[in-house]
Amino acid sequence: MLLKNSLCGLLLLVLSAASIAADKPNILLILTDDLGHRDLSCYGSDLYRTPHLDRLAEQGTRFTHAYTAAPVCSPTRASIMTGKFPARVRLTDWLTGHVKPHAKLRIPDWTTRLPEAEITIAEVLKPQGYATAWFGKWHLGEGAQAHGFDAGKEDWEQNRKKDQQDPKGVFTLNREAIAFLDENKERPFFLTVSHYSPHGPVRFEDSLKDEYQATVDRRSPRQSNAGYAAMIEALDTSIGQLLAALEERGLAGNTLVLFSSDNGGELNFTNNAPLRDGKGTLYEGGVRVPLIARWPGHVPAGKISDQVVCSIDFLPTFAALAGAQVPDDVDGLDISDVLTGKSTPPRDTLCWHYPHYHRSTPCGAILKGDWKLIEWYEDGSTALFKLDEDPYEQRDLSATQPEKKAELLAELDRWRKSIGAQMPTPNPDFNAATAEFTEQQLKKQRGK
């Protein structure tokens, strides 16, 4: 009798665990590096061929107003991992950053690795029975396994190596990811495939590049880098293979697939137009990115959403779907209702703080409803846009809307103080003759 009761109890535990696991979606996060808002054909590219991602968008929801928490990679990745604004984590630039010894401002010290004390998505999901893995670009200091992931591999050599068969490592990452799927298909999993592509250097299969060059020569499209186009197509092909692997293993039906980028497109390689500017700035081209979500039976198919969402929302959303507890100091919102197509009020406000020199001088920004304001810290100059009337940020309304400008500046300042944002300070070694940005360059960059 005792043995019988023990066996019954064990069976109940197994059945209960299986039932709990069945209620939890698998989560596949596919992250790209420097992929611009217009770099997929379903987002309006006039050159790049992306049939697999276009199909993913048809099977799920495509977001038109998805933003990253920063205009460069590492701080956005920190925001994804922690659900926090980069300024709160004090990881506000890519790890080595740009050193500008004679610039007008001295940038604040920032952490060059994700602090151990920060609770990551992996650490939130593992108590709910999730197997966790991160394959590909990490760029947050110590690897993913130092931050709670069961498995992780960040192979920079593959990105540097000239491998004609896989010059950006997109298929190498697939092999790692599919092996993880095979090992963990009987339990819920959180898997991130973090591509090095299409970040430079531009590496491509020669025959594919030649095809695109013929198109560029014939049509002169707005996006005209044939090598970059070849990289995008290879990336898309690899993602198609990974999605097929989900189908073949019977995992697609209960897997939330989320596809996005870590910042806007790099203008040395692509063109974000009609969005203004690109990576390293707080204009729309620097922080607005593709976001596609698919979860059959839950995320509406063929929908286009204009809800404002952000990379800080990933952690609280994944936690909600998994039934996990969210850390108290998370800044992001649970957007699971947005993903599943339920009626939700729009996000009221989103802010940025980028106290570094990159393509722009140190700056901050606030998006509130249809209004967006950018503030540059060197001289306090601003640009104010009404995005519903001027989505491409061409008409600065600072002079004609002084009350709105003052309101948004005050709110942006309150937000910075609330998260302990570090501000740049006057540089005692400032030398106008050798500073990177001259007055003429600043005026041109700000459109004045």
pLDDT tens for 69-119 read 999 999 999 999 999 999 999 999 998 887 889 999 999 999 999 999 999
Question: What CATH code is assigned to 352-444?
Answer: 3.30.1120.10
SS3 401: coil
| 117-162 residue pLDDT tens | 999 999 999 999 999 999 999 999 999 999 999 999 986 655 556 6
Q: What is the CATH number of domain 26-347?
A: 3.40.720.10
Sequence-ordered strand ranges (E) for 281-344: 288-294, 303-305, 309-310
What are the residue ranges spanned by the domains of the chain?
26-347, 352-444
> DSSP character for 346?
P
Q: What is the pTM of this model?
A: 0.93
Contacts of 346 (CB under 8 A, 6+ apart): 307, 308
Length of the chain in terms of residues written: 448
- Report d(CA 359, CA 277) in Å as an integer: 9
Q: Give the count of beta carbons closer than 10 Å to the beta carbon of residue 183.
A: 14
Residue 26 forms beta bridges with which residues?
255
Quick: pLDDT tens for 182-231.
999 999 999 999 999 999 999 988 899 999 999 999 988 889 999 999 99
Query: For the chain, what is the largest distance between any 2 Cα atoms, rounded to a whole number of angstroms?
Result: 90
What is the structure's pLDDT at 446? 66
Q: At 69, list the tokens.
A: 């928490």
Q: pLDDT value at position 22?
A: 57
Range among 54-58, 112-116, 164-168, 169-173 with highest mean pLDDT value: 54-58
What's the Cα-to-Cα distance from 383 to each of 110, 356, 421, rounded to whole Å? 26, 18, 21
* Distance from C-alpha of 237 to C-alpha of 195, rounded to nearest angstrom: 13
Same fold, 26-347 and 352-444: no
Q: For 365-404, give one letter per residue: b (16+ CB within 10 A) or e.
A: bbbbeebbbbbbbbeebbbbbbeeebbebeebbbeebeeb
Kindly report the number of other CB atoms within 10 A of residue 12's CB atom: 10
Tokens of 236: 């898309």
Tokens of 241: 């293979």
- What is the rounded average pLDDT for all residues in the chain? 92
